[in-house]
Amino acid sequence: MAKVLDEQSRRAVAARVQYYRDLGIFELYKREIPEGMSFGQAISREELARVAEESPVAVLTQDQVTVAEPAGEVVQLADILNDKPAALRVIREEIGDCTRCKLCEGRTNIVFGVGDAHARIMFVGEGPGADEDAQGEPFVGRAGQLLNNMITAMGIRREDVYIGNVVKCRPPKNRAPEPDESATCGPFLMRQISVVRPEVIVALGATAAKFLLGASDSLGNLRGHIYDFRPDLPQGAPERDPDFTTKLVVTYHPAYLLRDPRQKKEAWLDLQIVMKYLGMPMPKREAESNPERRSERGPEA
């Protein structure tokens, strides 16, 4: 028997509905959650798809919210953190076949993100290029090869990190995303960050660095530091956690390093900031070398 929400739950759901509206989502569907199971558990067990198939759906409006159990449909942060892959799938589902900005017109695939949902390090680029658009995965072209080499130089594998972009559709002619495109798509990146909760974010290039830090400095000024970072999430976002902060390091975009390989040693110094912060072992040649002469070459192209 459906019950009307108590005041606190109603406010939480109203905030969530407003959050979806801000993202351009106006139709929400109620799905019954099996008794004794939280929303997050239902998702994590992939029950939701089965439930949706078996149960009639009803349009949910802000004024007529009912649930099977009070607060049963409010996703708890604990559920999200318990099953990060499921929480990322939920974000992907919410993006859907997105037409929120003009980048949808030229895209082949939405490039959501890839990697370990529990990664300690998250790399953030600008937006997909032609190869990524074709394959639906970030950093799979030449710049991606170099990024892989940078990751390997750190003594870890691509599969050990999480990789995302500020925008999820390819900008025409590989131009930088425009402010309205970053503003529309960026909240999804903030949510991905809030789910993965990496210990360090590496912003690749000026677009990612400026978007994440809200800064207007040059990349040269932004790199070489370790920043405190808190994802900027709308009120009501299920991943929102006022206590969560992480670190952010800025480095050159791999595509730029392909054009100017002399900067690789600078990028390598940036990656060493990350490694030192995380207590990762330095590759032998670094540990043995004079710190003044660290890495003359940087990662291989």
- Show contacts with ligand URA in window 249-288 (CB under 6 A): 255
53/34 Cα distance (integer angstroms): 13
SS3 274: helix
Indicate the burial class of 195 (C-beta count within 10 angstroms; 0-12, 13-18, 19 or more).
Answer: buried
233/191 Cα distance (integer angstroms): 7
Closest distance between ligand URA and the C-beta of residue 166, in Å?
A: 8
Contact, 280 vs 271, CB < 8 A?
A: no
Query: For ligand URA, which is the closer residue by CB, 83 or 137?
Result: 137
Closest distance between ligand URA and the C-beta of residue 222, in Å?
A: 16
Indicate the burial class of 293 (C-beta count within 10 angstroms; 0-12, 13-18, 19 or more).
Answer: exposed
Closest distance between ligand URA and the C-beta of residue 93, in Å?
A: 21
24/97 Cα distance (integer angstroms): 12
Q: Own/partner pairs for 36-39, CB < 8 Å, 24+ apart?
A: 38/72, 38/76, 38/79, 39/72, 39/73, 39/74, 39/75, 39/76, 39/79
Closest distance between ligand URA and the C-beta of residue 174, in Å?
A: 8
Residue 178 burial (CB count, 10 A):
14
Query: For ligand URA, which is the closer residue by CB, 72 or 125?
Result: 125
Query: For ligand URA, which is the closer residue by CB, 138 or 187?
Result: 138
Query: For ligand URA, which is the closer residue by CB, 19 or 188?
Result: 188
Query: For ligand URA, which is the closer residue by CB, 83 or 132?
Result: 132
Closest distance between ligand URA and the C-beta of residue 110, in Å?
A: 12
> Is 177 a residue that touches ligand URA (CB under 6 A)?
no
- Show contacts with ligand URA in window 124-163 (CB under 6 A): 125-129, 132, 138-139, 143
> Is 165 a residue that touches ligand URA (CB under 6 A)?
yes
- Give the residues lining the site for ligand URA (CB under 6 A): 125-129, 132, 138-139, 143, 165, 255
